[in-house]
């Protein structure tokens, strides 16, 4: 049974794209067929996997407008088993283009329904806001994976995100559930990071993954080379953390 997971947080810089790229990479390394859906106008997941986003002529933007199908937009990556539905800056104008469209919150769901059966996992990299693109992702997904930076302000934003998830469950996607919480950018040397980690584990309990993603220079460097961390710096602490996370996901699938 394939899983469609939206990776969401309305706060930027909390590791959504880093988690999508590297978790998908390690799942593919374990022999799974994986599709990464880049629905962020920044297109960082696409460029992080080596695509020249400015040269892309077929993207998720054209798919959402109905010009092409999902199958026509999907491209292979240099990681065996991992495909991507790419995005670039054109997607930034989609909200205006969607004005007047019927059931615009379900456009992504309809397109993914045509291709999802080909994959074991579909991960959707959401933009850092709660606009129409994120609503499309939450309407299409079976679960939400929250990436949470281990800092105080991240906890403040989490309340708003949980309210949005509840509203989506009530009005758009009753089957949506919280897949889990991944703690990111963890620095064990700070008391605050340890306190936030404990607070989140106390609140979400078993929904928090055991694998914690540390602050790691190699994780920050890898996208500039268009590589996932398993190819760029497989021995780094960041790579080892994402490899463990992938195994946790597989055990729970």
- Residue 73, pLDDT > 80, answer yes
- Residue 253, pLDDT > 80, answer no
- pLDDT bucket at 158, cuts 50 / 70 / 90: confident
> 114-152: per-residue pLDDT in tens?
999 999 999 999 998 888 999 999 999 999 999 998 887
The whole-number average pLDDT for the span 22-40 is 97
The pLDDT value given to residue 38: 97
- Angle, in degrees to the nearest 10, between helices 152-171 and 191-204: 20
Residue 157 tokens, joined: 């934003």
Q: Where residue 70 sits, what CATH number does that domain have?
A: 3.40.50.300
The pLDDT value given to residue 199: 86
- Residue 153, pLDDT > 80, answer no
> 188-230: per-residue pLDDT in tens?
888 888 888 888 898 888 999 999 999 999 999 999 999 999 9
Domain count, the chain: 1
CA nearest neighbour of 43 among 24, 60, 25, 67: 60
**pTM of the complete model beyond 0.85:** yes
Query: DSSP character for 157?
Result: H
- pLDDT bucket at 1, cuts 50 / 70 / 90: low
- Residue 60, pLDDT > 70, answer yes
The pLDDT value given to residue 195: 87
Domain of residue 70, residue span: 3-252
Contact 196, 150 (CB under 8 A): yes
Contact 125, 7 (CB under 8 A): yes
């Amino acid at each position: 049974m394939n899983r469609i997971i939206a990776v969401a947080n309305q706060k930027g810089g909390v590791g959504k794209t880093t988690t999508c790229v590297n978790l998908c990479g390690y799942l593919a390394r374990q022999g799974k067929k994986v599709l990464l859906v880049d629905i962020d106008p920044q297109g960082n997941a696409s460029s992080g996997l080596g695509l020249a986003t400015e040269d892309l002529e077929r993207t998720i933007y054209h798919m959402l407008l109905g010009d092409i199908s999902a199958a026509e937009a999907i491209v292979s990556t240099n990681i065996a088993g991992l495909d991507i539905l790419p995005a670039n800056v054109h997607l930034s104008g989609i909200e205006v283009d969607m004005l007047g469209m019927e059931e615009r919150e379900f456009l992504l769901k309809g397109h993914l329904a045509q291709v999802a059966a080909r994959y074991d996992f579909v991960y959707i990299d959401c933009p850092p806001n709660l606009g129409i693109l994120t609503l499309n992702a939450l309407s299409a997904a079976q679960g939400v994976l929250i990436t949470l930076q281990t800092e105080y302000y991240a906890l403040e934003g989490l309340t708003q995100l949980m309210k949005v998830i509840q509203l989506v469950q009530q009005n758009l996607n009753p089957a949506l559930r919280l897949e889990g919480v991944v703690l990111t950018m963890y620095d064990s040397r700070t008391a605050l990071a340890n306190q936030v980690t404990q607070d989140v584990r106390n609140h979400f309990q078993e929904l928090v993954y055991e694998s914690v993603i540390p602050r790691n220079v190699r994780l920050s460097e890898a996208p500039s080379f268009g590589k996932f961390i398993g190819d760029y710096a497989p021995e780094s602490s960041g790579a080892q953390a994402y490899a463990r996370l992938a195994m946790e996901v597989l055990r729970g699938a």
